A and B are shown apart, each in its own frame.
Chain A
């Protein structure tokens, strides 16, 4: 590196002012553009800690419909914060266009600069570039849509009573994780269109439903036929969608509310699948951007000390036997993998050349950009987790087989274990493995109209019975008739049935 001409630092104190934030944003934005980060315009909002708690408790959105569970979240946050048990997050950033980021009033200028680099350029460019976000969310429409949802639900409360709406939302929230399409791409949502189509949809659904249920005169000779033909023909993974379209007793406003919950769930779905990458990308870039500013002499040594202190506490990974351990820290994993990819590009070892022939020695900016755009956590880890990373993090894999009395270490960070470790870790980030795979299997259209779900078991893992029964009650409320759930082994054997209203859960196996 040629010696640079040192410039005056942007600030030397720790207090922030609006001109200073502007100056930092300008410089960070300039450096980010030099590195080729493509971002939405930023909308940086300075808020108080109280407002931060508000934002926190409505799942980070600047506006949302009202529900007691957000109140619970708020009360919990407030309690923990006031007791000093927890610091508030430094930032919240919203996948919208313009990209909204919150800065907290209490922070020092260093922290504000860190947040700007992290959120306004890191997360922002991820939102804009990653394929999942591009496919599933429409950044320019989300705020409008939430406003529409909030107003719609408020109108429902006025018409049908707060309690009625609250019950419905409770039930929808219980099934929210099953309100997303995992493979099909939905239409991007826009508030204006929603309003327009709302009325025609209401009519259509009611008509369509009647057609379905009009044919429910029970006839004996149909019995064989009925067994052969299930409804839906193929299992439906999006339970809320199925309910919205097919539940016989719901009124049209209730279907609309289900739709809203579904759309919100869908909006958050990419975030759940890219946590490691998203945070890793943002951490990598705040580190890189601020170091660039330091190299140019725009920030002081004191600034860097404060920044590094907070940076290293964010990416700290407690070992598995530490009292602070609560799983793998996505910041650590993501950040280190991003740095590792850069290292493989710039200073590859022989091992790297063997494992990553495609990227060893390539242009790191292009390689990282490609990784950010085209992967989600699961595939990202499978593709890029290097042996060196596994050694550094000292990863090991434990198999917990409930049929055996002991736990077994089946792979560690050595030559034999690398591939298995990588696969297992990747599988750990596969949402399909984390959440039980439950789908709508059949509706007894010609009989008692009961709804049957199937839980396709993975590695023989059963459902947690108590919460399962609670969720079924909610499902029963939505469906209006009996609801059954069967846990099924891959060979088709039904191991357990749950019924709502309960008939006493029966162990079949």
Chain B
């Protein structure tokens, strides 16, 4: 006798929990692999999944087993030329007559490393773990989109899809019990028991008579007890859901990039990488976030994502143009009482003489009072440029909200990015 069952539609991913536990346990290894991967990748595939390699000895599960040495006797198949009593040198690496522990590898790398693949999602999780937009606060209860639906008990009216079957039947049961008379119920039950006992007995004329008699009695009793509907409108219960407005933590991120002539191709490339990281991070971790792209040379311009990352337009450098545009956009579209405002700026720090002071003035007067956090990265291999020195003063004034870092080569992008958006615990002021 066989049963054949189609289980293909059953729960897949049974191993997900175990897999996650494995990943959690080897988090450090995976993080290192992710960091390495970010350095090596080109801009466009920085967000793909990746291979992670862990040394085999780190993940082995130890058990007692025999080591080298002692007397061992082992049987092999496929004898071709050996005769009894033949002796020969012990093969190196313990292949032929070895202990059998650990497979000998003739491919060089072979067994020493444990490699596996993590998905894009997991890759990004590890990449952006413990990062956040600092000083984010809940703004006004204004945006109507952020409602949360919560359960709130049961009601006696509602739409059919919210019908709660268990509750309804329980109510019906209670009503039926309440409205029937106890004596009759007990009587019926006793008669039924008698009836079942009789049904199990072998058939005979007396039994059949008795059966019919009992059935009639039961019927009569049932008739006499009041006819109650099994389910009444009155019994129906519906799950009650209410919508609770939630304070929103809306945020806008300004990405400001210098594309002037002084930015060489490699510097631009690094700036783009930085912004792509930022863009991935925002998209992944924050649902309600708007990103505004501003690029500038002598003029600043608000552009879309495509143009921001791939346009080749270039020119001289006036940084203040971008800051002024940013401030205008904030005034026009993002009132600070509704929005968390973040700005990330990347430049080689080379600015038109005399413009830098305008910049710091714009920052301190129009921008920083309204923003949560301003991150500036200077991408240069040489000494700091005039903008950096100007910004140092700004930083002193706005220690918490203003952060600046320097990047000299592509390998530093990710560490700097992490430093800028490290998770801070409330109250702990570690400014860089």
A interface list, Cβ under 8 A from B:
18, 21-22, 25, 29, 41-48, 50-51, 53-54, 57-58, 66-72, 74-76, 78-79, 82, 98, 105, 120, 162, 166, 170, 173-174, 176-178, 317-323, 325-328, 393-402, 405-414, 416-417, 421, 424-425, 427-428, 435-436, 438, 455, 457-465, 467-468, 470-471, 474
- Decide if B10 is an interface residue (CB 8 Å cutoff): yes
| In the complex, chain B residues 60-77 whose Cβ is within 8 Å of any chain A Cβ | 60-77
Instruction: Write the nearest CB–CB distance from A323 to chain B, whole angstroms.
Output: 7
Residues of chain A with a CB closer than 8 A to B4's CB:
18, 21-22, 25, 44-46
Q: Say yes or no: B79 contacts A44, CB within 8 Å.
A: no
Instruction: Write the nearest CB–CB distance from B66 to chain A, whole angstroms.
Output: 5
CB pairs A–B below 8 angstroms (27 shown): A22-B4, A46-B6, A58-B15, A58-B18, A71-B21, A74-B15, A74-B19, A120-B2, A321-B96, A327-B100, A394-B79, A395-B76, A395-B79, A398-B73, A400-B74, A401-B72, A407-B89, A435-B64, A459-B73, A460-B69, A461-B69, A462-B66, A463-B64, A463-B65, A467-B65, A471-B64, A474-B62
- Decide if B223 is an interface residue (CB 8 Å cutoff): no
Residues of chain A with a CB closer than 8 A to B78's CB:
317-322, 325, 393-394
Instruction: Write the nearest CB–CB distance from B75 to chain A, whole angstroms.
Output: 5
Q: Say yes or no: B85 contacts A463, CB within 8 Å.
A: no
Closest to B102 in A: A464
Q: What 1/0 flags go to B3-36 for Cβ under 8 Å of A?
A: 1111110101111011111111100000000000
Q: Say yes or no: A43 contacts B79, CB within 8 Å.
A: no
Q: Say yes or no: B5 contacts A46, CB within 8 Å.
A: yes
| Supplied contacts A42-B3, A53-B15, A74-B15, 15 more A-B pairs, CB within 8 Å | A25-B2, A44-B2, A51-B10, A69-B22, A71-B15, A71-B17, A71-B18, A72-B22, A76-B116, A82-B117, A120-B2, A397-B75, A399-B72, A405-B89, A459-B73
- Decide if B180 is an interface residue (CB 8 Å cutoff): no
Closest to A470 in B: B62
Residues of chain B with a CB closer than 8 A to A173's CB:
61
Given A25-B2, A328-B75, CB of A435 within 8 Å of CB of B65: yes
Q: Say yes or no: B14 contacts A54, CB within 8 Å.
A: yes
For A69, A400, A463, A474, the residue with the greatest tally of chain B CB atoms inside 10 Å of its CB is A400
Given A43-B2, A412-B83, A435-B65, CB of A68 within 8 Å of CB of B73: no
- Decide if B230 is an interface residue (CB 8 Å cutoff): no
- Decide if B88 is an interface residue (CB 8 Å cutoff): yes
- Decide if B209 is an interface residue (CB 8 Å cutoff): no
Residues of chain B with a CB closer than 8 A to A22's CB:
2, 4
Instruction: Write the nearest CB–CB distance from B421 to chain A, whole angstroms.
Output: 28
The residue that A18 contacts in the complex, of B1, B6, B25, B65, with Cβ under 8 A, is B6
Q: Say yes or no: B86 contacts A408, CB within 8 Å.
A: yes
Instruction: Write the nearest CB–CB distance from A54 to chain B, whole angstroms.
Output: 4
In the bound complex, CA of A327 to CA of B20 (Å): 34
Instruction: Write the nearest CB–CB distance from B377 to chain A, whole angstroms.
Output: 36
- Decide if B224 is an interface residue (CB 8 Å cutoff): no
| In the complex, chain B residues 29-50 whose Cβ is within 8 Å of any chain A Cβ | none
Closest 6 pairs (CB-CB, A-B): A319-B78, A71-B22, A461-B70, A71-B18, A470-B62, A464-B67
Q: Say yes or no: B75 contacts A396, CB within 8 Å.
A: yes
Q: Say yes or no: A320 contacts B76, CB within 8 Å.
A: yes
- Decide if B84 is an interface residue (CB 8 Å cutoff): yes
Instruction: Write the nearest CB–CB distance from A324 to chain B, whole angstroms.
Output: 11
In the bound complex, CA of A67 to CA of B25 (Å): 11
In the bound complex, CA of A327 to CA of B75 (Å): 9
Q: Say yes or no: A75 contacts B22, CB within 8 Å.
A: yes
Residues of chain B with a CB closer than 8 A to A412's CB:
79, 82-84
| In the complex, chain B residues 78-110 whose Cβ is within 8 Å of any chain A Cβ | 78-80, 82-90, 96-98, 100-101, 103, 106
Closest to B103 in A: A326
Instruction: Write the nearest CB–CB distance from A71 to chain B, whole angstroms.
Output: 3
Instruction: Write the nearest CB–CB distance from B214 to chain A, whole angstroms.
Output: 38
Instruction: Write the nearest CB–CB distance from A346 to chain B, whole angstroms.
Output: 25
The residue that B97 contacts in the complex, of A68, A400, A413, A470, with Cβ under 8 A, is A400
Residues of chain A with a CB closer than 8 A to B265's CB:
none
Q: Say yes or no: A79 contacts B21, CB within 8 Å.
A: no
Residues of chain A with a CB closer than 8 A to B103's CB:
326
Q: Say yes or no: B88 contacts A406, CB within 8 Å.
A: yes
- Decide if B329 is an interface residue (CB 8 Å cutoff): no
Residues of chain B with a CB closer than 8 A to A71's CB:
15, 17-23
- Decide if B337 is an interface residue (CB 8 Å cutoff): no
Given A46-B5, A317-B77, A467-B64, CB of A74 within 8 Å of CB of B18: yes
Given A317-B78, A394-B78, A464-B65, CB of A68 within 8 Å of CB of B22: yes
Q: Say yes or no: B21 contacts A51, CB within 8 Å.
A: no
- Decide if B114 is an interface residue (CB 8 Å cutoff): yes
Instruction: Write the nearest CB–CB distance from A312 to chain B, whole angstroms.
Output: 16
Instruction: Write the nearest CB–CB distance from B412 to chain A, whole angstroms.
Output: 31
Residues of chain B with a CB closer than 8 A to A474's CB:
62
The residue that B61 contacts in the complex, of A174, A178, A328, A397, with Cβ under 8 A, is A174
